[in-house]
Amino acid sequence: MKIKLKKVDAILIVAMIIIAGIVFFQFGILPEEKKSLIPVIEFTQNIEDRTLTVKSFSQAILWRDIEITGTCDKSDLGEYVTKGDIIKDCSGNIIITHIPTGEELGSWVFPPAPELPYSILLPNERAVSPQDEGVHFKSIINTREWWYFTVVFSNDCDLPGWVATIGFCHLAWGDLKLTLKPDLIVVTLEGPNGEKYGGMLNKKRGGLLGLIGLLTLDAKTPGVDLKYGKSWAKGGSPQWHVHAEDEDIDEENDIVIDLDYFAKANPLWIHSNRLIDKGRGKIANYIFAGCEVEGTVKLNNLEFKVKGTGHHEHSWSPGFLQLSIKGWDWCYLVLNNGWTIYYSNYYLTRQILSPETSRINPLATVVITTNKGTKITKLENVDLTIEKYDKLFLLLKIPTDLGINAKPKVLSQPLLKSYNIRLDLDIKAKTTYEKIWKLPTYVGMKIGLNSVTGKITWSDDGDQEVDLKGTGSVWFMRSF
């Protein structure tokens, strides 16, 4: 007997199959093969400590196969799920999903984290124009200019916990005394287990007086438009692309870095000698904090997909400042709880004395953001303790361990001062690249990966305290 199906019958059968599939899915009626692929992880929730602790698990599971959404600290998790693993600093909704099967393994709700008081800033403190982003060193006065990109790669990419630094630097004549090579490029890559690649290279300026013609470091306006050999950066707020090749920087390794930066928030002017139109200042610098970074790193023909959190900084100043500035500290820190901290300081005296605490740092700034730069907490009263240093050459010393205590200034930050904010940080340079220009130049630099621990306290509906831990990039310079 031959059964003839009408078109309407076929449609009904297909519809019934689809409905049956939806019912099976909704009620967990799955093929045994798929069931066996879904792991079971039991967690113990501690609301007071804001933690989720692995109590048990059904099979060997890689943490990279687990997606954890929500605000939390996953930095202590290893390669495999193990009993006792702790997810820390949880706040809001935390959802854990098994990536290969797409199955949700559980969800938990924590109270919101305490909110750090933030600075009240004027609109002009958080705005840059395309002209501000462009070149300034082609004027007679502004002969020193830097464009600077850093990133700390996240744990869920191919280079977890690594740090990259890329800098395009047009130094003033005399910054590197008697070298006649003031154009500097920095391409460094450091890993958490002591891996170190890249470095820095300075070359002759090129062109006529370094202003026109074929320049070693060429820059244009508007926006960021830079070229140094095969390395370049291009874009404009809020996004830029950075391409870096080590060329002659690292003779033993081939490095090619391609990164896309996206700033979720407006920039912040750190310094400017102009009160209103800060971009017209002769001494000025601004940062974009909490940038989302994504791209690739090619290391000796091996390609790694990377992503993380970084920052972009741009500064310019007249050449005569070399007579006043004898060193600087730049640190950009990415904390495990999602916060970022920027610290900078400029030294007006030679740092040749023994390690000591400096309580007069008029050019020091600490900037904290808890939400990728949307809200800023700026602390201007900074005490610095150099706890340990490397002696690079004769009297030239470069710090390796810094202790930072920061709080609001009484006169210029009275509203923030009322919260009794106090930040304590220990910054330790771990894996760094050092460059020394010996006599007669007598300049030393240290760039690379650092660790940071500490805490911040404040008063707001009771006493609040948050422990801080993370990774960052440092750039120290000392000149005799």
The lowest-confidence range among 101-105, 137-141, 344-348, 407-411 is 137-141
pLDDT of residue 351: 65
Q: What is the number of other CB atoms lying within 10 angstroms of the CB of residue 16?
A: 10
Confidence of residue 352 (pLDDT cuts 50, 70, 90): low
Residue 22 has pLDDT above 60, yes or no: no
In contact, 473 and 332? CB cutoff 8 Å: yes
pLDDT exceeding 90 applies to what percent of the chain?
A: 65
pLDDT of residue 27: 47
State mean pLDDT over 189-198.
96
Confidence of residue 37 (pLDDT cuts 50, 70, 90): confident
State mean pLDDT over 111-133.
94
Query: What is the bridge-based pairing of β-strands 239-245 and 255-262?
Result: antiparallel
The lowest-confidence range among 108-122, 167-181, 264-278, 406-420 is 167-181
Most distant CA pair in the chain, distance = 103
Q: Which helix (H) or strand (E) holds 32?
A: helix 32-37
10: three-class secondary structure by DSSP:
helix
Q: Hey, which residues does 255 pair with through a beta bridge?
A: 299
State mean pLDDT over 162-166.
98
pLDDT of residue 189: 97
In contact, 192 and 159? CB cutoff 8 Å: no
Distance CA 140, CA 447 (A): 30
Residue 30 has pLDDT above 60, yes or no: no
pLDDT of residue 3: 52
pTM given for the model:
0.85
Q: Hey, which residues does 391 pair with through a beta bridge?
A: 397
Closest CA to 347 of 373, 322, 380: 322
Residue by residue, DSSP assigns 63-97 as GGGEEEEEEEE-TT--SB--TT-EEEEEEEEEEEE
User: Who wins on pLDDT, 235 or 38?
Assistant: 235
The lowest-confidence range among 9-13, 47-51, 152-156, 319-323 is 9-13
Distance CA 460, CA 79 (A): 39
Contacts of 85 (CB under 8 A, 6+ apart): 53, 54, 63, 76, 77, 78
Convert the pLDDT of each residue in 297-311 to its tens digit. 999 989 999 999 999
E strands present in 99-162: 103-110, 144-153
State mean pLDDT over 259-275.
96
State mean pLDDT over 311-339.
89
Q: What is the number of other CB atoms lying within 10 angstroms of the CB of residue 207?
A: 14
Residue 180, Ramachandran bin (φ over 0: left; ψ between -120 and 50: alpha; else beta): left
Residue 209, Ramachandran bin (φ over 0: left; ψ between -120 and 50: alpha; else beta): left
Closest CA to 170 of 234, 228, 222, 217: 217
State mean pLDDT over 102-119.
92
Convert the pLDDT of each residue in 376-393 to its tens digit. 999 999 999 988 988 877
Distance CA 343, CA 326 (A): 17
Q: In what order do the strands lie in the sheet with 377-379?
A: 357-358, 381-393, 396-407, 422-437, 443-459, 463-479, 327-335, 340-347, 365-369, 377-379
pLDDT of residue 357: 59
| Residue 207 one-letter amino acid | G
Give me 254's structure tokens.
Answer: 């081939």
In contact, 363 and 380? CB cutoff 8 Å: no
Residue 23 has pLDDT above 60, yes or no: no
* Residue found by looking up tokens 């003033």 in the block: 172
Q: How far is CA 341 from CA 56, 233, 240, 332, 472, in A?
A: 36, 24, 21, 6, 9
What domains are there in the chain, each with its CATH number?
41-110 (no CATH), 123-479 (2.40.370.10)
Cβ density class 290-324: b for 16+ within 10 Å, e for less: bbbbbbebebeeeeeebbbbbbbbbbbbebeebee
Residue 353 has pLDDT above 70, yes or no: no
State mean pLDDT over 288-298.
97
In contact, 456 and 422? CB cutoff 8 Å: yes
Convert the pLDDT of each residue in 228-262 to its tens digit. 999 999 999 999 999 999 888 999 999 999 999 99
Distance CA 96, CA 105 (A): 6
Give me 210's structure tokens.
Answer: 């370094």
Confidence of residue 363 (pLDDT cuts 50, 70, 90): confident
Distance CA 440, CA 458 (A): 48
pLDDT of residue 1: 47
